[in-house]
Amino acid sequence: MRDETVLAGDLYLPPGSGPFPTLLRKTPYARGMRNELDLYLRDQGFAVLVVSQRGKFGSEGVFYQFRNEAVDHHDGYDTIEWAAAQPWSDGQVGTYGVSSDGQWQLSAATLAPPSLKAMVVSYAANPRHALVDHGVLLGTGPAWSSMNGLSRRLGNREDWQDWLESWRRRQTPLLASFIEDEFIDRLYHLDYDSYWEEVDPSNGYDRIQVPILHECGWFDRYVTPTLENYLSIRANAATALARESQWLVMGPWTHGGGVPADTEVVMFGPEATADRPLLHLEWFDKWMRGAPDYARTRVRLYVLGVERWLEADDWPVKTVGQLTLYLAQDDAGAELRGGLVEDAPEVETSSSFHHDPYDPIPSIGGHGGVGWQWPAGPLDQREAEERSLTFTSDPLETSVTVVGRPKLVFHASSTAVDTDFIATLSEVHPNGYSAILRQNGIRAAYRNGPQRAEPLEPGDVYRFELDMDAVGVAFAAGNRIRLRISSTSFPAFLPSPGTTEPTALATKAVEGTNTIYQGGSRASFLSLPVVDPGY
């Protein structure tokens, strides 16, 4: 690197004398976990270089995931240009990788390395989205940090000097000073402030100059950042080539795999399994070896329920309207149970539930956490629904195809000065199986945006807007649509302490009663973007 730090890597060369077009994967994970995709691409005639990020697995320096590639250091740029200059390289470099192996690419691309020709960015988060969802702390942040070692590395005199300087600069309590800096920084900066602005690659998307294939799955936790990356780069990239050469594929997949998560009720056909190696090969052949025009459509989305692909010119796809369903109290007055109806109730009602952050409702299905800490996919939510408010439609008379971001607008109050509201969208099958489709949260204190927390006045009623992660699903005729509202889904979301003290310094959490209002001037509703079922 330009500061003389040396990174460790493994090089896989194809047969022949070269030079070869070169593909680079940078990773914080063990290089010894040999990736079949690396070898496949090598066998297709590419030089494949797999490099450990700074501070990981033999690479020198201190690991800091969000700052090393394009802020404190320019490791992404330097690695790309180093690879391009080697005798086995023809000077063209493409990059690829999943999750953290994907996120660094976006940061590096904002520096416009001249030898970078194309990227496949898979299942990649915007840095802040890996920690926070509308102000709610995600379990992915601490889980990822624990997998990569929560403690600061202290292997030599330089490491100790770095600790001393960090302790002086941050004035961190001695007890916490031996935790890695990045984890502390993430928790200290829950507001979207200058810390996040500096590491947010989207602030530099107007400098990107290369074609990018964006890949993700509906049961991944990074659906929203994937779509936002695609949209922002397509709109703002530095060159017409880059703006016109953003492609998107979204399948029924869990994090990084390209393989759907079948359940006993929700089953996927052979079309749902991705040929990821071929996807990569076609992309790099197009942009690095001059293959004929890329044959796929710009946007390919797998629609759950009908189990087929929707092919579109762009995102968001064209809709034919919105299905608006209003939250309504159950006519029989059933505790915690209500309906989703097409006409807003004229009379205001309310439904309350007790929230105990030390007795959270479990996370079931969905994205499965970091390292698949619980099974991912469209799992049955009935266990969690027993302890949540649920609002359920009547059986659908005809199929309804929804592609886009569901939007929940609701009115709520709490006895606490802060709380979380976790919304879960599911499809209920005739046998009662409630298959999760989407789950997102909003912290009450961040109801007006991510810049700063604004505590609640206990008992006052507030209006909330929650844009959920996008989904592509055809709700089948005879099935029902269900919205579940709770204040926990653990460990996908860390419970709110419910106090005004900074979350990173909280020592306890408080119980509370949370209330959702329906009808009258406080009508709450779910809006679903509907597309033509024939696409």
What is the per-residue DSSP string for 392-424? EPPPPSS-EEEEE--EEEEEEEESSS--EEEEE
The whole-number pLDDT of residue 175 equals 80
Q: Please state the rounded mean pLDDT for residues 119-135.
A: 88
Nearest by Cα to 420 from 336, 512, 502, 332: 512
- Domain parsing of the chain, residue ranges: 9-130+204-312, 140-189, 321-530
**The CATH homologous superfamily of the domain defined by 321-530:** Galactose-binding domain-like (2.60.120.260)
Distance of CA 281 to the CA centre of its chain: 25
- How many CA atoms are closer than 13 Å to the CA of 346, on its beta-carbon side? 0
Q: What whole-number distance in Å separates Cα of residue 218 and Cα of residue 406? A: 14
Structure tokens at 295: 């044959």
Q: How many other C-beta atoms lie within 10 A of the C-beta of residue 371?
A: 11
- Are 215 and 122 in contact by the 8 Å Cβ rule? The answer is yes
Q: pTM higher than 0.85 for the full model? A: yes
The tokens 């005729």 sit on which residue?
Answer: 477
Higher-pLDDT residue of 162, 85:
85
Task: Check pLDDT > 90 for residue 92.
Answer: yes
Question: 159: which 2 tokens?
Answer: 């490491």
DSSP code for 148: T
Q: How far apart are CA 77 and CA 73, in angstroms?
A: 9
Q: How far is CA 209 from CA 117, 126, 232, 267, 462, in A?
A: 8, 19, 13, 40, 44
What six digits make up the tokens of 245?
A: 């050469």
Question: Given this model, what pLDDT does residue 149 score?
Answer: 63
Per the document, the length of the chain is: 535
- The pLDDT assigned to 151 comes to 78
Instruction: Give me the pLDDT at residue 333, please.
Output: 66
Tell me the helices (H) and strands (E) count for the chain, helix number first. 11, 24
DSSP state of 147: H
Best CA proximity match to 513, nearest among 412, 445, 441: 412
At 145, the pLDDT band (50, 70, 90 cuts) reads: low
**pLDDT beyond 80 at 141:** no
Give the separation between CA 202 and CA 239, rounded to whole angstroms: 16
Q: Does residue 51 contact residue 75 with C-beta atoms inside 8 Å? A: no
- Check residue 202 and report its DSSP letter: G
Q: What is the pLDDT of residues 354-399, one digit of tens each?
A: 999 999 999 999 988 776 778 899 999 999 999 999 999 999 999 9
Q: Which two tokens stand for residue 63?
A: 């690991």
Q: Is the separation of the CB atoms in 195 and 189 below 8 Å? A: yes
Q: How far apart are CA 122 and CA 254, in angstroms?
A: 12
Residue 125: other Cβ atoms inside 10 A: 23
Q: Which residues contact 288 (CB under 8 A, 6 or more apart)?
A: 21, 92, 94, 117, 118
Contact residues for 6 (Cβ-Cβ < 8 A; gap 6+): 59, 60
- C-alpha to C-alpha distance for 288 and 301, rounded to whole angstroms: 26
Tell me what the mean pLDDT of segment 456-479 comes to.
97
In this prediction, what percent of the chain has a pLDDT beyond 70?
A: 98
Strands 136-137 and 132-133: antiparallel
List Cα–Cα distances, 82 to 90, 180, 288, 309, 468, in angstroms. Answer: 12, 29, 18, 40, 41
189 is written with which tokens? 């900066």
CATH number of 9-130+204-312: 3.40.50.1820
Q: How many CA atoms lie within 13 A of 506 on its CB side?
A: 19
Place of tokens 């969208």: 425
27 burial type by CB count under 10 A (0-12 exposed, 13-18 middle, 19+ buried): buried
Return the pLDDT at 183.
81
pLDDT for 332: 65
Give the angle subtended at the CA of 184 by the CAs of 182 and 188, to the nearest 5°: 115
10 Å Cβ neighbour count for 189? 17
Token pair 């946007």 is found at 299
The helix/strand/coil state of 490 is strand
**DSSP class of residue 500?**
S
Q: Does pLDDT of 521 surpass 90? A: yes
**89: phi then psi, degrees, rounded to nearest 5:** -105, 145
- In this prediction, residue 404 has a pLDDT band, given cuts at 50, 70 and 90, of very high
pLDDT grade for 115, boundaries at 50, 70 and 90: very high
Average pLDDT in the chain:
92
pLDDT score recorded for residue 505: 83
- 3 state DSSP class of 161: helix
**Rg of the Cα atoms in the chain:** 24
Q: Is the peptide bond before 19 cis (omega within 30 degrees of 0)?
A: yes
Banded pLDDT at 157 (limits 50, 70, 90): confident
Q: What pLDDT does residue 320 have?
A: 95
Return d(Cα 251, Cα 207) in angstroms, integer.
29
266-306 pLDDT tens trace: 989 888 998 999 999 999 999 999 988 777 899 999 999 99
The answer, yes or no, to whether residue 72 has pLDDT greater than 70, is: yes
Contact 255, 221 (CB under 8 A): yes
Q: How many angstroms separate the CA atoms of 362 and 495, rounded?
A: 11
Give the residue-averaged pLDDT of 242-264.
91
pLDDT in tens, 193-252: 998 999 999 999 999 999 999 999 999 999 999 999 999 999 999 999 999 999 999 999
3-state secondary structure of 306: coil
- How much is the pLDDT for 303? 96
pLDDT at 513: 97
Report d(CA 135, CA 450) in Å as an integer.
6
